[in-house]
Amino acid sequence: MLIVDNVNYQHKSFKILENISFDSDAGKMIAIVGPNGAGKSSLLSYIANEIDPKKNTIQLKNIALKNWKKEDLPQHKAKFSQHQPADIPLTVEEVVLMGRYPYFSNTPQQKDKNSVDFWLNKTDINHLKNRDYQHLSGGEKQRVHLARVFTQLDNNHPQKLILLDEPLNNLDISHQFNLLEILKEFTAKGDLVILVMHDLNLASQFADEVILMDKGKIVLQASPEKVFKPEIISKIYKFPCTICQNPIDQKPLILFGQKTIKMNTTTDLKTQWNDLKANQPKIRIRNAAKDLGVSEMELLATQLGENVTKLKPEFAAILPEIESLGKVMALTRNNECVHERKGIYLNPDFSSPHAQLFVGEDIDMRIFLTHWKSAFAVVEASEHGERKSLQFFGKDGEAIHKIYLVPQSNTEAFDTLVEKYKDADQKTVAETEKIVNNTIEKPDTEIDVEAFRQSWIDLKDTHDFFMMLRKFGVTRTQALRLAPTDYHAKKIEKDAIVTMLEQASETQTPIMVFTGNKGNIQIHTGEIKRTMWHENWFNILDPDFNMHLDMSKITEAWIVRKPTEDGIVTAIEVFNDKGEIIVQFFGKRKPGIPELEQWREIVAGLN
């Protein structure tokens, strides 16, 4: 019924409409949607023959628009425009009657009056018919013009064309639905309705077809089900969205905004994650889990039986076997700091029930297995092919430790290990527990500060520091505040951490970097070379050691000096807003050897 063939329209060098072609059968409602400035109104004006009428090649009912008789066309095609004159000095009834001008020459006939009455009623403005148009509200004026357009097409011609540019603007919800129902009645009689609209859910609910436009072009013309896909809509509108099925009419229901992705309960977690990835292809699983309100382990488990294999939680048996994988990358992190160290898992010590260790030169870890709960083998697709890893999670479902294969790793040993520890149950995962940190700091007045200070001065071993905090019932940051003197604990600006790392790199001073979470602390010892800012992250980017520290999340940084039998040990301790340690730095040291003078010098210069 309508053929639009290769429409191009530009203003100076700006292409407003480019290569627009589509055709449509009678009896349909087509919604044109797209972001502001996409060209929707321009396309509608073009179809209405308001732009470039001489060049117009559009065909309506097999006749080119320009070949239609001027007096015939208004009975076959009408347009509701987005912008209407505000000051027509007529009554409502008189404005609606303008729609009948194509039907009478001087005086309206009974037929015309009946039609006007009918549409006054149908658009719910009959009660306003004798009022001045100029004093109506926005929504009332809108309905007057809609009635005018409808009465213009009130005839027995088949296959009329109704064009409407944002007709739902200004209308309250019941009048929006009333209008859409009216339009449906037209299409049911075989007319073609094309309307520009911004409400994608109404388009989804009512339109037979959707034309999605962007930058002067048609991106897609298809059914609402095909057009309203999160990867398409979020890309075109540059805004995250979730799309689920409307339980009432089974049409796509579009929910905009990041939070809606969390609220979307009608689809399962796996679909929600896929939607999120469609919106943000680079999102990391840790952030995706946060956005979806689940733990990382629960999200990973949605891929069980695909690229994820659940392992038996026999950590004390698995970990000592990691050595067989050869060189790998160990990753331990908390919310604010990521620690990645490459090496071989040598010298495991699992003899103590309290803490287990790896004490290799490269892989150096203090492990607290009581916090470990689940283990998985993961195979991810990456730019360089498959990326295999072992991933360990705590009781709360948060990642404690990950071991990634690197090109030098023994993949056969990995496969053997996975086969050996594969759990018989590949369907269910451990329930996660919420772990609440309910440490309440005691007021300083309840602390025996003098005894605490003396105890600090009398320290002989850094390992006793933690026991000392327990004994006096102080939190770690409280201890630093109550330290014996400024010498023992001094608060520094967080930028001093960057200064320290840059100086350690420049002077090639070997340092130690401790990063951990409840279940594991991972340590790097050595010189660092390449440091770099990336947005709010300060990074160490060396071949075998990477650290990524989110500087925006640091609330306190301290220089902490503890007496030991080998002399003073100086640390820089970095905390988040909950008073939890993000990362700790030391100069390289070994029991029995005093700490490096170079390190002390760097720290002495920090403020």
Ligand X SMILES: Nc1ncnc2c1ncn2[C@@H]1O[C@H](COP(=O)(O)OP(=O)(O)OP(=O)(O)O)[C@@H](O)[C@H]1O
The strand order across the sheet containing 511-517 reads 348-349, 356-359, 364-367, 520-526, 511-517, 581-587, 567-575, 556-564, 489-492
Q: Distance (Å, rounded) from C-alpha 148 to C-alpha 287? A: 53
User: What count of other Cβ atoms lies within 10 Å of the Cβ of residue 96?
Assistant: 29
Amino acid at 45: S
Which 8-state DSSP code applies to residue 496? Answer: H
Q: For the CB of residue 572, give the shortest distance to ligand X in the complex, in Å.
A: 54
**Nearer to ligand X by C-beta: 236 or 328?**
236
Rounded to whole angstroms, the Cα distance separating 392 from 388 reads 14
Rg (CA), the chain: 35
Does 16 bind ligand X (CB under 6 A)? Our answer is yes
Q: Tell me how far CA of residue 462 lies from CA of 358, 519, 561, 586, 589, in angstroms.
A: 19, 20, 10, 12, 12
Site for ligand X in 19-38 (CB under 6 A): 34, 36-38
Nearer to ligand X by Cβ, of 41 and 499: the residue is 41
Residues 277-316 that bind ligand X (CB under 6 A): none
Q: Please, which residue, 34 or 99, has the CB nearer to ligand X?
A: 34
The CA distance from 60 to 157, in Å, is 13
Compute the residue count for the chain. 607
> Closest distance between ligand X and the C-beta of residue 193, in Å?
17
Provide the β-strand partners of residue 524: 513
* Least distance CB 576 / ligand X (angstroms): 44
CB-wise, 13 or 445, nearer to ligand X? 13
What is the smallest separation between the CB atom of 268 and ligand X, expressed in angstroms?
Answer: 35
The minimum distance between CB 40 and ligand X, in angstroms, equals 4
How deeply is 211 buried, as exposed, middle or buried, from its count of CB atoms within 10 A (0-12, 13-18, 19+)?
buried
- Residue 7 or 603: the one with the smaller Cβ distance to ligand X is 7
Q: Which is nearer to ligand X, 54 or 534 (CB)?
A: 54
- Least separation in angstroms between CB 32 and ligand X: 8
Q: Could you tell me how many residues of this chain bind ligand X (CB under 6 A)?
A: 10
Residue with smaller CB distance to ligand X, 95 or 236:
236
CA distance 292 to 233: 20
45 vs 264, beta carbon nearer ligand X? 45
Cβ-based neighbour number of residue 52 at 10 Å = 15
Q: Which residue has the tokens 């009912």?
A: 61
Instruction: Compute the C-alpha angle 172/176/182, nearest 5°.
Output: 145
Minimum distance, C-beta of residue 58 to ligand X, in the bound complex (Å): 16
Question: In the bound complex, what is the minimum distance in angstroms from residue 256's beta carbon to ligand X?
Answer: 16
According to DSSP, residue 453 is labeled H
The encoded tokens of residue 547 equal 């650290």
Closest CA to 479 of 444, 517, 526: 444
The set of residues, in sequence order, having a beta carbon less than 8 Å from that of 135 and lying 6+ positions away, is none
x/- site string to ligand X, residues 544 to 563, per CB under 6 A?
A: --------------------
Q: Report how far residue 358's alpha carbon sits from residue 318's, in angstroms, rounded to the nearest whole number.
A: 13
Nearer to ligand X, 20 or 253 (CB): 20
* Residues 242/261, Cβ–Cβ less than 8 Å: yes
In the complex, the smallest distance separating the C-beta of residue 57 from ligand X, rounded to whole angstroms, is 19
CB of 539 to ligand X, least distance (A): 41
Least distance (Å) between residue 34 CB and ligand X: 6
CA 452, CA 465: separation in Å to the nearest integer?
11
| Beta carbon of residue 15, minimum distance to ligand X (angstroms, whole number) | 9
Torsion-angle region of residue 62: left (phi > 0), alpha (psi -120 to 50) or beta? left
The CB density around residue 247, as the number of other CB atoms within 10 Å, is: 8
Helix (H, G, I), strand (E, B) or coil at 519: coil
End-to-end Cα separation, the chain, in angstroms: 77
* Rounded distance between C-alpha atoms, residue 559 and residue 500, angstroms: 11
Contact 406, 384 (CB under 8 A): no
Q: Which is nearer to ligand X, 39 or 516 (CB)?
A: 39
Neighbours of 518 (CB within 10 A): 18
Nearer to ligand X by Cβ, of 14 and 381: the residue is: 14
Instruction: Please tell me the distance from the alpha carbon of residue 94 to that of residue 65, in angstroms, as a whole number.
Output: 29
For ligand X, give the closer residue by CB, 19 or 508. Answer: 19
Closer residue to ligand X, CB minimum distance, 37 or 85: 37
Q: Does 84 bind ligand X (CB under 6 A)?
A: no
* Binding flag, residue 11, ligand X (CB under 6 A): yes
Between residues 82 and 303, which has the closer beta carbon with respect to ligand X?
Answer: 82
- Assign 555 to helix, strand or coil: coil
Residue type, 58: I
DSSP conformational letter for 361: S
Task: Identify residues 320-379 at the interface with ligand X (CB under 6 A).
Answer: none
Q: Measured from the CB atom, is 42 or 374 closer to ligand X? A: 42
Cβ at position 9, least distance to ligand X in Å: 9
CB of 228 to ligand X, least distance (A): 18
Query: Distance (Å, rounded) from C-alpha 415 to C-alpha 427?
Result: 20
- Please, what is the minimum distance in Å from the beta carbon of residue 16 to ligand X? 4
Site for ligand X in 37-76 (CB under 6 A): 37-42
Structure tokens at 355: 């803490």
Q: Does 167 bind ligand X (CB under 6 A)?
A: no
**Applying CB under 6 A, which residues contact ligand X?**
11, 16, 34, 36-42
